[in-house]
Amino acid sequence: MTELKLPSIDYAALSPILIMLGVALLGVLVEAFVPRRHRHLTQLSLALVAVLGALVMVVFNADERLVTIGGAIAVDGPTLFLQGAILVLAAMALLLIGERSVERGGAFVAQAAVTAESDDDRRQAEGSNGATEVYPLTTFAVGGMLIFVAANDLLTMFIALEVFSLPLYLLCALARRRRLLSQEAAMKYFLLGAYASAFFLFGVALVYGFTAGMPDRAAGVDFATVHAAVKDSPASPVLLFAGMALLAIGLLFKAAAAPFHVWTPDVYQGAPTPVTAFMAACTKVAAFGALLRVFHVAFADAAWDFTPILGVVAVLTMLVGAVLAVTQTDIKRLLAYSSIANAGYLLVGVLAPTGAGVAGTMFYLAAYGFSVLAAFAVVTLVRDADGEATHLSRWAGLGRRSPFYAGVFTFILLAFAGIPLTSGFMGKFAVFGPALESGQAWLVVAGVLTSMVLAFPYLRVVVMMWLSEPGDSTPTVTVPGGLTATALMIGVAATLVLGVLPAPLLDLATDAATFVR
Amino acid sequence: MSDFPFLSVLTVAPLVGALVVVLLPRRRPELAKQVALGWSLLVLALSVVMWVSFQVDGDRLQFRESYPWIPTWGVNFTFAADGIALVMLMLIAVLVPLVILASWHDAESSKRSVPVYFALLLVLECTMIGVFAAADVFLFYVFFEVMLVPMYFLIGSYGGHQRQYAAVKFFLYSLVGGLFMLAAVVGLWVVGGKTLDWQTLTQVDISTGTERWLFLGFFLAFAIKAPFFPFHTWLPDAGGAAPAGAAALLVGVLDKVGTFGILRYCLPLFPEASKWFAPWALALGLIGIIYAALLAVGQSDLKRLVSYTSIAHFGFIGVGIFAFTTQAGTGAVLYMLNHGLATGLLFLVVGMLIARRGSALIKDFGGAGKLMPLLAGVLFFAGLASLALPGTAPFVSEFLVLIGTFTVNKPVAVIATLGIILAAAYVLWMVQRTTQGTLNPELTGIEAMRRDLSLREKVVVAPLIALVLLLGFYPKPVTDVINPAVQATMQDVGKTDPAPEVGSVQEASR
Amino acid sequence: MTPDYYLILAAVLFTIGAVGVLVRRNAIVLFMCVELMLNAANLTLVTFSRINGDLNGQIMAFFVMVVAAAEVVIGLAIIMSIFRTRRSASVDDANLLKY
Amino acid sequence: MDHILTYAQAEPTGAVTYAAASGLLSSVWLLVAIPLVSAAILLLLGRRADRWGHWLGVAAIGVAFVLGVASFLQLRGLENKSVELSLWDFIAVGNLRVDFGLLFDPLAAVFVLLITGVGFLIHLYAVEYMAHDEGRRRFFAYFNLFVAAMLLLVLGNNYVMLYFGWEGVGLASYLLISFWYGRPSAATAGKKAFLMNRVGDAGLAIGIFIMFATLGTTQYDEVFTGVGGLAGGTVLVLGLLLLLGACGKSGQFPLQAWLPDAMEGPTPVSALIHAATMVTAGVYLIARSNPIFSANATLQLVVVSVGAVTLLMGCLIGAAKDDIKRVLAWSTVSQIGYMFLGVGLGGGAYALAIVHLLAHGFFKANMFLGAGSVMHGMNDQVDIRRFGGLSKYMKVTWITFMMGWLAIIGMFPFSGFFSKEPIIVAAFEREGWTAWLFGGAALLGAGLTAFYMTRLFVLTFHGPKRWTEDIEHPHESPKLMTIPLILLAIGSVGAGFLLATSVPDWLTATAGLGGQTEGHEAVLSHVVITVLSLLVTVLGAGLAWMLFRAGTATEPQPAGVLVTAARRNLYTDAFNEAVFEKPGIFLTRALVFLDNRGVDGLVNGLAAAVGGGSGRLRRLQTGFVRSYATSILTGALLVVAAFLAVQAGWLA
């Protein structure tokens, strides 16, 4: 009997993941053992400490380039950059989640088990402290995302997908008010998410089948094997292409690309706004991190085959996002469609098969994450007696009531519209440049054309806020607590700084743009 | 003194001023106005110093400054000015204080923050200066787009009838052009070897097909900005809705970015494509001249009318640029300056009329000259400048454009000359319907209509009138500055002026 | 008997699951259809594992089962909470978020 | 083009050179500057100058006149009588060099004297005439502005300067026609004048472009030197364009319609601008450009034809009008027709045309001012059917007007005889049938002129009184108005002989006007023509005397086709309205509609289409989770199918 060879494990390189998952478990214990009134503070601090600790470890690992635990996890430039981005954005999202001064008790339901619309429900809505399970759930999700962007084989990727998706399904259902919407969003997200992950898994199975039969290599789903198989597997390429397609579907679903975007508007609208912010920022980073890795590492040599198809998807995504955003009347839905369109622009970056493309995509992800978090932070502040006032007509004249927040929101909208001196513009340049360089002019043209359409809904909001007279129903903007204010300011500052002086982050992304196999 | 970083200081100064104005206590709008005015005068003073330090026979690009910005993309903060840019910078520096002074009470009627209005004007000045001072395509693009934002709010927040529609249309229309240009900028960056430095890019050879596409991207943006037919419909709306001061800047300066862009970017960077496209551009310019002039005749709103006249004038500028002769090119640049002065004046005067009457409709006036002879006189003078009467500055530019065009393309020049007849028609008819004829009895009842120009208003119009006359009689100081830059541009395109058909007359007699 | 039949079976199961999601209304049934798809994938993995003669596929199948179980927990929780309010498990009733 | 070119006989002029100005002549720029500064002062000071402004205006022209005389005397003593003064580089771009420069030569000198001399008298007259008008200061400002522009026009040493002054006088003319801008008719007339002038100006401008394109210059000397080298066709086109400009400014066919309307302005304006000086600018232009016009026979034919047509037209319409100023205006049109005829004939006739121009300046100004004096006394009545018998009440006006009348109809020994008759003679000196045609036209014109001017004179000053009720006792005008009348009347009597004997010699020093070409033998002898012309004059005058001695009806009378047509300006206004104005207005409206609905509609339609598409697509987001799943499955199938298609090589 041969000796069992244990794979080497580089704990330092894995430490961010381990920290997040460990603290998540710890959070579950806190739920069980810490008295209710201390839980909020404890959980929040714990989660933040975890995120910051993980971030420190990411920075500490900055120069690591390795593949560890038997090829399951790759710690390389993109991994570290994206993990860092996820962690920073997650920290901001946690600040939004932890806010309790904007609304008494926070944005989350006190007892998820209370039947919606019942008397108990109304009572909890009036001010019971929100559930603190959200923190461990968030921490789990972040941990899952960290694995997702680092996953170096398809199985790990699948598991990471589930690890970060499942908590998100739950988080969506936890809104304090309008719980029917929240639950509906959770159900839709869950059913469709599960549906898409089934496709992903079937894709994994097919790719596994494809990797068989190479002379000196065992079958497997790690990217090195897949990469080798794409080049010289004797198996039927039908397996490869069908598998690749199904894998792509699973990932594109998470990335909210058309026609797999259908869940996005409903979920973004129904979920508690801090969770929406978290999803819009972090899920996007994670999903595109995985897309980058799958298509740049595993299937790099099939680029000629997948680029046109994914290109069509990208164009469709931009188009659907932009055109449908035009007539939206709910600010969260509008931002959802905007995020769909942005997924299209990100895909343009993904499809540039160069380091510059990877760097551009990563830069865009980080830049977009900051802006979108700030945008949703403002949305949490515009409230009336019934909670957030998300219908656009209610925002009329907001600029006259609270010029500062309206100004901030305008700035972010300008960033989304890609006006220079905002990170949005730099991001667009960062993805369009490499795309054009690799001959994908049609994608750039489509991106430009849809940007024109997309500018209209943003402008409509600006017109609403500034050029319309405030009415009786114009809600007030609540003065944010320290947490939201911090998150908002970080988001806005990052949008501005990345728009004016993008060089440091851009350099970082460029240096980090090489994958290890 | 020439080592002084004029351009960056000029760009940043108004921005700082805007911050100061915004931070002033809200209770004291007067102070905000004074500070804004003072600040813009400071900028003017600095610009004058810069004008003096410009060496006419020196390098093409002077006052060059370059600071690294985004090394990964080879993008730098590079500022530099040639004669063309210098003239436009001067125009901005002159117009902004006057506009601020002219808008003294404009913002008060809008129920919105007065200091913000003046801060926006200063921000606008910053972006306008930046766009002309930039010598890096990326930087240019940045200012080109950002410029929309303050103007959007000026129109949208402080404008008149239909301001929302006009503001959104202005913004979207310009953004559409800007995004096409973005695609072209990205393309240029790729083919130019990952640099966007203007001087480097002029040396780059681009394959014919690519060059044409890139040219079209840039041209479309500039054609919308300028605006040329058929991309002009936003201007009457924006010009009609904007407050008069902002409209003066919009038409006087902002739109010049389009024509400036063609001269600075389209021609030198894509010379072959420019030549390839020139017939089309000439046609567009020509249509603009005739079409917009006819439309101006048919307008019933004063500000829309002036906007249409501007479109006609931009047609002349377009023709001048794409004729590719020194005279036409110099004329086009001079036209940009003169049109800024003349139409700026026209917009400001029309604004004064409208502010008094409370309506921009021509039929609401009639015989106003009886009540306000001085204002009517200034309106008439501005009209004369607009129809390019000799003795006013626009004559020189129009003459240069036409004569330069004639040497290479006779039909175009002849048809364009018809535009001067139409110009007389729209100006005189406008003057007749507003200030001449029987006095509209409604006007006598309006107290404001009896007030002729106030001292403040006189101070606003006097410098413009003086400049229009001065440059009408003695344009040489300006043409001397423009000329080398235009000649260099023509060299970039590879065009030389045609010799007279019967040569050697000059040599024989001089 | 060639292993190919297992692959075909898996494909059929996957299709039944995928179409089932579209045609059934009950949330639980829907969810079961998804599980069917996961199991189809499992079957595929195991079949390939058998064909290739390595164990990777079978190990993967175990992982998937665990994940599927976790998914059930979450899913049922969500479906339950909706059911308690609406007294219905039909997914078509949950249709407040649209357009 | 070919058959036109066969007519073209190039007659190259020798090289033209100008001397640099020195001495007194180097201050010739003051001629332009003084009135200009005066105008500026009057405009800028505003009401503060109301009390003394008119005297400043008069003084400015007086000083200019003195300076003009001094310069003239200085010029007489010079060897090279063409003196150039370059002030500054106006435009210097590439190989285009335009001087801001002046040229003082015999041709310019006589114009300077006419403008400042007659101008001074009319200014003097206007002091009194405008005394009761609150806008007198403004009036004098515009008047001075006009003189400055007119002097610049005649003094410029290149075509751009000429154009500068050309448009400047157009502006002044506009301002003065619509001086009473409160009257809609005045405002409209001013606009009409400016617009029609601009049509001509456009022609002039294009002519200048041609010069630059072909010769590389716009300086007179260089153009004239180089014109001989130009192709015949080019010269023809160039000349026609210059002619278009001249027609616009001088109210010649087909751009004559504005001139009668211009009578809406105050009478001194009609006298100075629309009779004596500005409207003769066209003649000046052709005379100045004689090297161009002489270089092409076809061109000369066109000029002659324009002159002949216009002179007859002016006579016909003038005979049918009842408004005293309009009759004079049409008479001006007609007389300038004679001048065009003269300059068109070329050679020695250039000088004849200039002589007629100068003489006309005196007698027409005289008559306009006389008409003004009549109106002054008759409560601004202008209808000659409402005058009659004024000779008893306005002795000075009557006598001076009579001098003008006799002068214009060409009665010996008044000035018109010496200036007009030679043109008729010259017209008969053409080749073959054209001699009969143009000579006959000129002769017929002389008869008609006599008819309508006599009609005017008789109806105004003789016959029964037909005054309106409000007039009791018409008064003679004050001294300040009669003195200029008297001086101009003296000019009307004596100027003809003096000018006819001196000016042609004097003008020989002007570029191109020196060469006396040998004309053809006249088809009739000189004496016969003289007798004939006197005969038709007496006939015309006698006929009018017979018809109108007893007055006329005060209401419009039914008339034959010709008279009706003449009353309606031979339907030229109707033509303009039908062909240019109405279609223009329609076109404008159509374009406004097109722009709003078409061009802008396309933009807005595109936006609406996106919005509509968006609104429709939104409905696909039904909110049913199963339809979402359908979307995902469909997408999945498509993606898988696409991948498989790629793999099968169908797509790539």
Query: C62 CA to chain D: closest CA distance, Å?
Result: 26
Task: Name the percent of chain A lying above pLDDT 90.
Answer: 66
Query: B46 CA to chain D: closest CA distance, Å?
Result: 28
Cis, bond preceding A265 (omega within 30 deg of 0): no
- Give dist(CA D245, CA B389) in Å, integer: 16
Identify from A172, A246, A249 which residue to disrupt to test chain D contact, counting D C-beta atoms within 10 A and taking the largest count.
Answer: A249
Query: A476 φ, ψ to 5°?
Result: -95, 160
Residue of C10, C17, C63 lying closest to A198 (CB–CB): C17
Report the pLDDT averaged over residues A358-375.
95
Chains B and C touch, using 3 or more CB pairs below 8 Å: no
- Give dist(CA A321, CA A284) in Å, integer: 15
For residue D3, the model assigns a pLDDT of: 37
Lowest average pLDDT, out of A101-110, D344-353, D490-499, D504-513, goes to D504-513
| DSSP summary character for residue B62 | E
Q: Spell out which residues of chain D touch residue C25, defining contact as CB-CB under 8 Å.
A: 626
For residue B109, the model assigns a pLDDT of: 72
- Give dist(CA B481, CA D90) in Å, integer: 15
Q: Using 50, 70 and 90 to split pLDDT, how confident is the model at A345?
A: very high
For residue A467, the model assigns a pLDDT of: 80
Write a three-state SS string for D390-429.
Answer: HHHCCHHHHHHHHHHHHHHHCCCCCHHHHHHHHHHHHHHC
What are the DSSP calls for C25-80, one per residue? Answer: -BHHHHHHHHHHHHHHHHHHHHHHHHHHT-SHHHHHHHHHHHHHHHHHHHHHHHHH
Q: Report ipTM for this prediction.
A: 0.90
Residue of A115, A220, A269 lying closest to C56 (CB–CB): A220
Identify from B175, B180, B216, B220 which residue to disrupt to test chain A contact, counting A C-beta atoms within 10 A and taking the largest count.
Answer: B175
For residue B1, the model assigns a pLDDT of: 45
Q: Spell out which residues of chain D touch residue C41, defining contact as CB-CB under 8 Å.
A: none
Residue of D629, D634, D642 lying closest to A195 (CB–CB): D629
Report the pLDDT averaged over residues D424-436.
82
Identify from A467, A497, A500, A501 which residue to disrupt to test chain B contact, counting B C-beta atoms within 10 A and taking the largest count.
Answer: A467
Place of tokens 């960077």: B269
Q: Spell out which residues of chain A touch residue C34, defining contact as CB-CB under 8 Å.
A: 191, 194-195, 198
Q: Using 50, 70 and 90 to split pLDDT, how confident is the model at A499?
A: very high
Identify from D616, D619, D621, D625 which residue to disrupt to test chain C contact, counting C C-beta atoms within 10 A and taking the largest count.
Answer: D625
For residue D355, the model assigns a pLDDT of: 86
Chains D and C touch, using 3 or more CB pairs below 8 Å: yes
For residue A166, the model assigns a pLDDT of: 95
| Closest to A397 in 3D by CA, of A310, A320, A338, A462 | A462
- How many helices (H) and strands (E) in chain B? 24, 2
For residue A414, the model assigns a pLDDT of: 93
For residue A313, the model assigns a pLDDT of: 94
Interface check B390 vs D, CB under 8 A: yes
Say what angle helices D526-548 and D432-461 make with each other, to 10 degrees: 30
List chain D domain ranges. Answer: 19-567, 568-618, 620-652
| Closest to B258 in 3D by CA, of B296, B224, B294 | B224
Query: D591 CA to chain B: closest CA distance, Å?
Result: 6
How many domains does one find in chain B?
1
Lowest average pLDDT, out of B122-126, D161-165, D647-651, goes to D647-651
For residue A348, the model assigns a pLDDT of: 94
Q: Spell out which residues of chain A touch residue D608, defining contact as CB-CB under 8 Å.
A: none
For residue D146, the model assigns a pLDDT of: 92
For residue B146, pLDDT beyond 50: yes
List chain A domain ranges. Answer: 11-511
Residue of C18, C92, C94 lying closest to D633 (CB–CB): C18
Q: What tens digit of pLDDT does each residue of B3-13 get? A: 788 899 999 99
| Residue B508: exposure state from Cβ atoms within 10 A (0-12, 13-18, ≥19) | exposed
Q: Which of C33-42, D372-381, D396-405, D598-607 has maximum average pLDDT?
A: C33-42
Identify from B126, B145, B224 which residue to disrupt to test chain A contact, counting A C-beta atoms within 10 A and taking the largest count.
Answer: B145
Tokens of A163: 């690890």
Query: A250 CA to chain D: closest CA distance, Å?
Result: 9
For residues D164 and D381, the model is more confident at D164
List subunits contacting chain A, requiring 3 or more Cβ pairs under 8 Å.
Answer: B, C, D
DSSP H helical segments within B159-301, as ranges? 163-191, 198-202, 208-225, 234-241, 244-249, 256-261, 267-269, 271-297
Q: What tens digit of pLDDT does each residue of B455-497 get? A: 899 999 999 999 999 999 999 999 999 999 999 999 888 888 8
Residue of D96, D181, D599 lying closest to B233 (CB–CB): D599
Q: Spell out which residues of chain A touch residue C67, defining contact as CB-CB under 8 Å.
A: 158-159, 162
**Nearest-by-CA chain D residue for B293:** D588
**Nearest-by-CA chain C residue for D631:** C22
Report the pLDDT averaged over residues D501-527.
70
Q: Using 50, 70 and 90 to split pLDDT, how confident is the model at B504?
A: very low
pTM of the model: 0.91
Interface check D216 vs B, CB under 8 A: yes
Query: A507 CA to chain D: closest CA distance, Å?
Result: 35
Q: What tens digit of pLDDT does each residue of D249-283 get? A: 888 888 888 888 888 888 888 888 888 888 889 88
- Give dist(CA B488, CA A128) in Å, integer: 75
Q: Do D625 and C22 touch (CB under 8 A)?
A: no
- Show Cβ contacts of residue B477 under 8 Å, excluding neighbours closer than 6 positions: none
**Nearest-by-CA chain D residue for A306:** D643
Map residue B70 onto helix, strand or coil.
strand
Query: D591 CA to chain A: closest CA distance, Å?
Result: 29
Tally Cβ neighbours within 10 Å of residue D77.
8
Cis, bond preceding B227 (omega within 30 deg of 0): yes
Any domain includes B436: yes
Whole-number average pLDDT of chain A: 91
Any domain includes B281: yes
Q: Which domain holds residue B419?
A: 277-497
Q: What tens digit of pLDDT does each residue of A163-172 get? A: 999 999 999 9
- Give dist(CA D562, CA B340) in Å, integer: 54
- Give dist(CA A155, CA A72) in Å, integer: 8
For residue D8, the model assigns a pLDDT of: 38
